């Protein structure tokens, strides 16, 4: 039987969503996957000799250290039957406080959290203020003002199907660099700026590099058309810096 979960987490205390390996050996660092698998197998296997990773979880996509999720989707397979509502309650009781599961349901065995996904929605939030505020948390603080209209004009050049090589990090494993962006919006509410981007897929650090390019355009008063130049260059050196992961959240995955 296959089950799908909707997972929320604050990524600050984890080395990303996925368990990491080096030379075939698991790196002993905290991850969302590690905590989730440990909790699931505790409920399914208990404290028995079989409690040695009999559960393998599959995420809709990898998130880096510091990145949050509100709507991460995960699936796993098990032969054990259980009442989903009771299992969900118990799972949340033993997970760390910064990880929770809002939904758990049985799905068809053809469902795959990553491969079945049609679109993903990411949000990046940052603050525009010269002075520190205790309630800013870990959000990136930009010490210059930005223009919402100009940012939206820049983002509009990203809509549609493009080669996003200029915005990919060297750590991208998938050789495909073409993505389809269906929505890209900028919203400014006082000192807080929210960038929402939806697409069929995203390259490694792509959203954070897009935001870094937006800030370069605003910080140097470049024309919004510069975003188009960066996109068409297919050259990572043309884009802005990859900004802090804090403030980036996976909002929703659609199937």
Catalytic residue ranges = 64
Longest pairwise C-alpha distance within the chain = 63
Cβ atoms of residues 75 and 107 within 8 Å: yes
Of 72, 222, 198, 13, which Cα lies nearest the Cα of 124?
Answer: 198
* Geometric angle at alpha carbon 33, from 29 and 38, rounded to 5°: 90
Could you give the count of Cα atoms lying within 13 Å of 198 in the half-sphere of its Cβ? 11
Task: Please name which of 141, 139, 186 lies closest in space to residue 159, comparing C-alpha atoms.
Answer: 186
Which ranges of 157-200 does DSSP label H, i.e. alpha helix?
A: none
Q: Which of 157, 151, 167 is nearest to 222 (CA)?
A: 151
């Amino acid at each position: 039987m296959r089950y799908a979960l909707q997972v929320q987490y604050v990524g600050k205390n984890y080395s990303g969503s996925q368990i990491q390996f080096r030379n075939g050996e698991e790196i002993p660092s905290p991850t969302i996957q590690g905590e989730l698998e440990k909790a699931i197998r505790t409920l399914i296997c208990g404290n028995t000799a079989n409690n040695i990773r009999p559960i393998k979880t599959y995420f809709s996509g990898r998130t880096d250290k510091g990145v949050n999720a509100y709507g991460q989707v995960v699936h796993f397979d098990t032969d054990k039957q259980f009442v989903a509502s009771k299992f969900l309650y118990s799972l949340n009781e033993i997970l760390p406080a910064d990880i929770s599961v809002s939904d758990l349901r049985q799905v068809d065995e053809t469902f795959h959290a990553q491969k079945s996904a049609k679109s993903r929605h990411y949000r990046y939030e940052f603050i525009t203020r010269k002075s520190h505020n205790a309630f800013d948390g870990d959000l990136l603080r930009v010490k210059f003002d930005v223009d919402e209209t100009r940012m939206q004009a820049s983002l509009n050049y990203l809509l549609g199907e493009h080669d996003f090589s200029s915005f990919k990090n060297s750590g991208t494993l998938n050789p495909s660099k073409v993505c389809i962006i269906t929505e890209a919006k900028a919203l400014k509410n006082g000192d807080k700026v929210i960038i929402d981007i939806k697409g069929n897929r995203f390259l490694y650090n792509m959203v954070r590099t897009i935001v870094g390019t937006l800030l370069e355009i605003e910080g140097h008063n470049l024309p919004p058309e510069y975003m188009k130049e960066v996109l068409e260059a297919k050259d990572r050196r043309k884009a802005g810096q990859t900004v802090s992961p804090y403030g980036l959240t996976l909002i929703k995955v659609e199937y």
